[in-house]
Structure formats: C-alpha cells, structure tokens
Structure 1
C-alpha cells in the first residue's frame, strides 16, 4: 500500500504522513473506505495526521521528552530521598524500579501514542473501557501545574533577590532575622547538639535551637510563616505577584516559544507546525544541564566536597530491608520519568510512525534517571563542603523537609562560592527553567 495515500473504492483519497517521511501500517485495511463509518474509524485510527503534522526529526522528540521528564522532581525530590533513605542504598531500589516499572510504562505510552497519533484524552478510545484513564491523567497534570507554579513563584523570588552582591540569606542583619540567627562561619562556636537537633535530655536552663540565615530567610521572608495555625497572618503580596508572574510566563511559553522546535513534517502543502506547547524545549532542555554542570564542577573543587559524595555513593545496607525505601523509590520513578501523567503520550503523538520507539523507550528513561543522580552529585558535593565548614559529621544535619532542600541548603552552599550572587542567579534560573519545561509540556 502506498505511503502517499490511502485509496478508497469511492475514489477519494486520504493523505497520511506522505512521501518518504512515513510508511502506512500494513495492518490497516481500507477495502471498505466507501462506508462513512469505516472512513471515520480509519481517520480516528490514523489520528488525523493530515491536520496535526509530526516532529521534523528525532532530536525534537528527544528534547520534548527531556523537557517534560527532567523537572523539579529530579533535582529537588530525588536528593532529599537519597539523604533520608540512606544515601547510596536508595540507588539500588531506584534502579530496580526503573527497569521493572519505569521503562515498561514509558514504552507502552510511547507505543500507543505514536501508533494512534492521539493525545491522552483520545488515545484510550482504542479500548473504551479505559477512557477514564485519560481524564485521570488530565486531572493529575492540572494538579501538577498548580503546585509547580507555587514552587516556581518561590524560585522567581529567590532569582530576583539574587541580583544584589550581598545576598540577603548570607547574613543576619536583615529586619526578619531573629536573635537566634547564625551563619556557618560562626557555627564552630556552637555545640553541634544545638543545631537542628532532636536529642532528648534534661537541662538546668532554657535552651534555644538556632536557625541559619538561609533558613530564616526561607521561613520569615519568603513564606512569612506565622507562629501557629491559630494566627492567620496577612496576605503575602510579594508571593502573590510572583505566582501571577509564573502563570503568565507559563502561558506565554505555551503559545509562543521558539519557532524552530515547533516545526513538524508532513509532505507538500500539508507541512504544518506542531503544537507550540513544546516550543521552548530546545532552550529549557539544554541550558539547565549547562548550569548544573557549572555548579557541579565548582562544587567538587570545594574543600570537603567528597564527604558528601561518599555518603551519596556508599549504601547503608540495612535500609534495604525497609519497605519504605522500595515504595519511595518506585514513586520517585514517576517523578523522574513522568509516566501516567499524559505528557509522554502528548509528545509521542507527534512522532513519525516509523520512529525507533524501542530505542527511545530504553535509552531515554535511563538518561532521565541518570540526570537525577547527576543532580544528586551536585547537591551532595556542596553539602560535603558545608559539613567541612561547620565541623558536623552527619549529612542528616543539613536535611530540610520537602522543598526546603533547595530553598535552604542550596542557598547556603551558594554563599560559599566566589561571586555567590552570580552563581545564585544562574542556579535559580536553571531551577525555574526546569519547572517551566514540565509546565509547558503538561
């Protein structure tokens, strides 16, 4: 059957990825194309490629998948789990989950989307009983956009505050600082048990747990956290403005973006531009990797960096007996690769029919998972330097719950870099583009 057209007994023709760009699946039969119902079913199966177009090259596919899968979960959530789950021990169940969960799901979503050319809401029409899966994916992506924009609003604020040579989280002379604020250069004068300690004991006087300048900036300036749930506090207007800016930037990148990545290939007069929501992928997939490499190179040259890297690589074998480490590793695969959220299906729906899906379904998940580990090296190298400066031997000392890993620990590390303001601008720019990339694709 010709790759240029589908011939029907009625004499009408349907273009399908014409010319030498594509091949028509030989399993499709169009002997009854003269029937209106058959013609409709055929067009649904082909995904109306005549209207949608396809990616011009494999590079566009890879960059779009990379932009979606490599996000804040790789660089914020993964390092925290590695710390809390025993360092190198977490890498073992994470790798097992990658091959048992991540790659099979990634392959399935690439396959059904590339074959049908349909998005997550329509692709499950192939099996009507699964129609609800597409709507669940849409719901998950919607929720993801909400909390990603909140994190991106925080990042925007840090980015703006970085444009001053004396970073506000590098000292305790700000209006929001308390008498208990300290900087790491002075930490040697404080006993380690007083720093972020959970030790129980009896004392003869009142004691105070001190907070670093970066932590107080996060709690009292960025979040403006109240004393308790019984105090409502006031509207945090600077965060409101940052949140609005985050939504506006996401919207602009979704409808505009870099025109070159939006190109799609279809023969002759049917050549069209693919969806603009993937248009920023060239920029947001490459630049963050460059910034992270710069930070990593600088991190490993700092004194004590290998103390943190050693913890990241050397496993605590007793942790492997815990169910929690395995469940957290399996869950992290969904944050590292992004399956079951609809983005992979959306990107793959623009693939050419003969795109090498088996290669992508194996190579790309491995690369995306390695990016998480790569980010872990950057984080643990700077944490090792903080351990060296503070004289604290436990990595757990520097752990902050949730997103505080980036918004407390990283700023502390950036303070130690020559030209810290420049490094801070670059880092938070990288972090923002990571979140933006996932937002645009989702």
Structure 2
C-alpha cells in the first residue's frame, strides 16, 4: 500500500502551512504520515491513517497563502513619514506658545524629563508593536485582547484631533492666499474689519502699554484683528451658542485640505511614501527661512532672551508640568495610533526596537534596562500622574474675558469620555463573550490570541507574580 507524507510547518507567528505536492488523488486507500513540526519544541505526531474519499474523480490540493502586507517602497519613506508626522503644528506653532507661556527656559526642564521617561519609550513601543504584529492600532491588541478598546480609543482621538488640526491648516491656507497682495492685510488698520482702536504697533508708546499686557488684552494690533475679525468674524458672534453660518472662503480652504489628504492616502503607503519627500523636508526649509528672517528683525535679541530666561518659580505650578506632559505626545505623535500603522508596513526584520523576546528573536539582542524599566513601570506611572493631575487641577474653559457656559464644559467632558469609555466597555464585552470559568475568561482576556492553548492547559503566565516582576 503506497504511503505519502504531508509536512505541516509551524511559523514564528504561530501560523501553520501545509506543504504537499500537487499530486492527483486516487480512490484507493492510502496511509498518510502526518509530521507536525513545531519550531519552538519540535513535537511530532506520526502514523495517522486517512482514507481517501470513495470517488472516481481526481482532485488537486491547493496551497493557500496568506496575503502579503504592503511594504514601504524604501526605508527612507518610512523614516520621512515618521519625521513628517512629528514635525507638525504641535512643534511649529504649539510648542513656542507653551514655552513662552510657562516661563521660557523653565518649561524645557519638565519637557526634557518627560521626553526621557515617557516620550521616547512610548515612541519606540508603538513602532515595535506595529512592526512585529503587522497590524493597525486596533487589531494589534490581539496581544492582549481585553484592551482592544485602547485601539478604538486612539483611533477616535485621532479623529477628534483631525477635526481641528485640519481646520487650523485651512486657516493657514487662507493666510497664504491673503498674502498674495501688494500690502499684507494684517499689517495695516485701514481694512473693513478693523476697529477705531486699531493702532500700528510701530507707533505705539511703549511706556503707556507698559510690558505689552494691556496691548494684548485690548487686541489693538492689525494682526490680532485680522485673525479674530477678518478671518473668524468673532465680533459677529455673541458666544458659543451663536455659531452663525460657515464662511465660504474658509470652507473652500478646508475642502482643499481634505482633497490633498485624500490623494496623499488613496493608494496607501505607495502614494504617501512619495508625498512625504515634500511634506517632511519642506517644513525644515521653511523653518530655516523663518529663523534667518526672525533673527534679522529689530528686537530679535529681546525675543531670544525671553525664551532663554528661566523662571524657576513657575515650576511650582502644576499646569506647567501638565502642559509639558501633554506637549510630549503632540511633539512625538505617540498615543494616536499613527506610529503603529506606519511601522506595520515595515519589513519584519527591519532594524527597529522590539520588546525583549521579540528583539532577541529578530535582532539577536534584548533592549537595555532603561527601556524595560520605562515600558513596565516608569511610563505607566507617568501616564497615571498626568491623568490624575489633569483632573484635580481642571479649570473651566475660557477665552480672554469670555467664559464658556457650563453646558459647553459638560459637552467637552462628554467628548473626552466618549473615547475613554471604550476601554472598559470592550473589556466587559470581551469577558462575557469568551467561554469557560471565571479564571479561563480572565485568562482569555489577558493572553495573546496565539497562546490560547495555554489557557486551556491552565498555564497562564500573566497570573504569576514572577511575570509581573520580571524586567
């Protein structure tokens, strides 16, 4: 009686593939030797007998292959995408404002500290998660299924941020279009939107306005009035309850921004990898031009000294530390799921930091003690500190002298909770939908999907104290 062999191979990501020749089946009875080769422990099962179906027809056995995930065209495409994502409005526009607001150079102290203990570890963690698992922000949580709600949360947060970030870019586009005039509209007071109080800053008496506080409060500059009255038309609104109609000029600019985004992403990384060659390098050119222009303006030395001045008394204020912690995520782009998505298109053996065993498996070495300590203890403690401090020191939102009504603050909290609530909701959903006892349910929730067989065997390392204390 003829005998055939079928080899079932195990892969590092726990998938199985069947390797068989395209031989035709015959209706005669055969002994088929199954050899299960598992890479990790080499267990083999043999001498199983299979009876071919009693039919006169002949068949071919197809070999199914998993669809290959799309890759970046070049490694530089991935690098430029990450750089372009990090160098955005948060660094060009938000960081200087927060630095000046929170004591100049003093702000750099908590910012640098949080960058070391949280920013960089979380940055590399997201790249490692995406590249090793080859999944997006939500599906990557097959490593701990009960926290898949975290993936949905970061996606929703990215959506919320995209709403106002794209609007700000639309404002910038409007400014760009307005600059193509013989005289810049934000430098003079003779425009239709200017008030009688508008004054040329070059003609102001510095002694009357002291250190600029009154000057800023009454919004007398042409630039401030162009932004608030010429662009946003805030003077036509009585408050947040009176939004008015959208301005067609700004709507058109926003539509143009969305069109650019669509054509940058419509074919995945193949198109976005080419677009970043412009979007990631052009900001540095513009920043260099602005630097040269800024240091050549009158009074530039005073502006530089204001940023370099360190007011250590400001470090006693919790808001300084909260602003620094928040800015870390905007500066590096961590926590939005974008880095996970970018890294998921890398090749599996790309030289990127991965978690301990994954790094050892792919690169031959484990991450240093600094990374392991931050990933397991320091960074989670930092995030908990930020959340608690932000809640305790919360102040109702205001804009200059206008204080938003209570219902507006409540709406803001509702929007914030709409994303965070997904984490416990999905945890509860996952717990009650998996089978087994209470211990097995909890085991299925915290065990990677590829290791569910350990739950059935009762060998759940997440339940052991040694697992939690191992660095």
| TM bracket, shorter-chain basis | 0.5 to 0.7
CA contact (8 A) 2:171 2:253 kept: yes
Q: Distance in 2 between matches of 1:299 and 1:97?
A: 29
Q: Distance in 1 between matches of 2:352 and 2:41?
A: 20
Q: Secondary structure at the match of 1:307?
A: helix
Q: How does 1:196-345 map to 2 (within 5 A)?
A: 196-197=213-214, 209=218, 211-225=220-234, 226=236, 228-229=238-239, 233-255=244-266, 274-345=269-340
CA contact (8 A) 1:194 1:209 kept: no
Q: Distance in 2 between matches of 1:136 and 1:123?
A: 13
Return the TM-score normalized by structure 2. 0.60
Which segment drifts farther, 189-198 or 291-300? 189-198
CA contact (8 A) 1:86 1:319 kept: yes
Q: Secondary structure at the match of 2:68?
A: helix
Deviation, structure 1 residue 291: 1.0
2:28 is the alignment partner of 1:11: no
Q: Distance in 2 between matches of 1:221 and 1:323?
A: 36
2:119 is the alignment partner of 1:108: no
Structure 1 unmatched ranges of 5 or more: 14-25, 33-41, 200-207, 257-261, 263-273, 363-399, 403-442
1:163 maps to which residue? 180
Q: Deviations over 1:371-403 (max 9, x none)?
A: xxxxxxxxxxxxxxxxxxxxxxxxxxxxx979x
Provide the aligned length of Structure 1 versus Structure 2.
314
Q: Deviations over 1:269-317 (max 9, x none)?
A: xxxxx45344411110001101110110121122321211122123111
Q: Distance in 1 between matches of 2:215 and 2:175?
A: 29
Q: Distance in 1 between matches of 2:245 and 2:16?
A: 67
Deviation, structure 1 residue 57: 3.4
1:267 maps to which residue? none
1:416 maps to which residue? none
Q: Distance in 1 between matches of 2:312 and 2:352?
A: 36
Q: Distance in 2 between matches of 1:28 and 1:61?
A: 36
Deviation, structure 1 residue 240: 1.9
Q: Deviations over 1:346-381 (max 9, x none)?
A: 00011122222139x99xxxxxxxxxxxxxxxxxxx
Q: Secondary structure at the match of 2:182?
A: coil
From 119, 126, 144, the counterpart of 1:127: 144
Deviation, structure 1 residue 97: 0.5
Q: Distance in 1 between matches of 2:270 and 2:334?
A: 20
Deviation, structure 1 residue 9: 4.8
Q: 1:235 to 1:358 in 2, by over 3 A?
A: closer
CA contact (8 A) 1:114 1:350 kept: yes
Which segment drifts farther, 225-234 or 283-292? 225-234
Deviation, structure 1 residue 165: 2.1
Q: Distance in 1 between matches of 2:41 and 2:93?
A: 46
Q: Deviations over 1:206-238 (max 9, x none)?
A: xx9451011111111100112522755554222
CA contact (8 A) 2:189 2:222 kept: yes
Q: Distance in 1 between matches of 2:303 and 2:87?
A: 23
Q: Distance in 2 between matches of 1:29 and 1:57?
A: 37
Q: 1:27 to 1:241 in 2, by over 3 A?
A: farther
Higher helix share: 1
CA contact (8 A) 1:64 1:281 kept: yes
Q: Distance in 1 between matches of 2:101 and 2:111?
A: 14
2:434 maps to which residue? none
2:108 is the alignment partner of 1:91: yes
2:163 is the alignment partner of 1:146: yes
Q: Distance in 1 between matches of 2:102 and 2:41?
A: 50
Q: Secondary structure at the match of 2:281?
A: helix
- Largest Rg, 1 or 2: 2
Q: 1:31 to 1:105 in 2, by over 3 A?
A: farther
Deviation, structure 1 residue 176: 1.1
CA contact (8 A) 1:195 1:211 kept: no
Structure 2 unmatched ranges of 5 or more: 1-8, 23-38, 46-63, 355-366, 369-397, 401-471
* Higher relative contact order (CA closer than 8 Å, sequence separation 6+): 1
Q: Distance in 2 between matches of 1:198 and 1:168?
A: 20
Deviation, structure 1 residue 55: 2.5
Q: Distance in 2 between matches of 1:30 and 1:180?
A: 85
Q: Distance in 1 between matches of 2:138 and 2:160?
A: 16
Q: Distance in 1 between matches of 2:348 and 2:194?
A: 59
CA contact (8 A) 1:7 1:30 kept: no
Return the TM-score normalized by structure 1. 0.64
2:32 maps to which residue? none
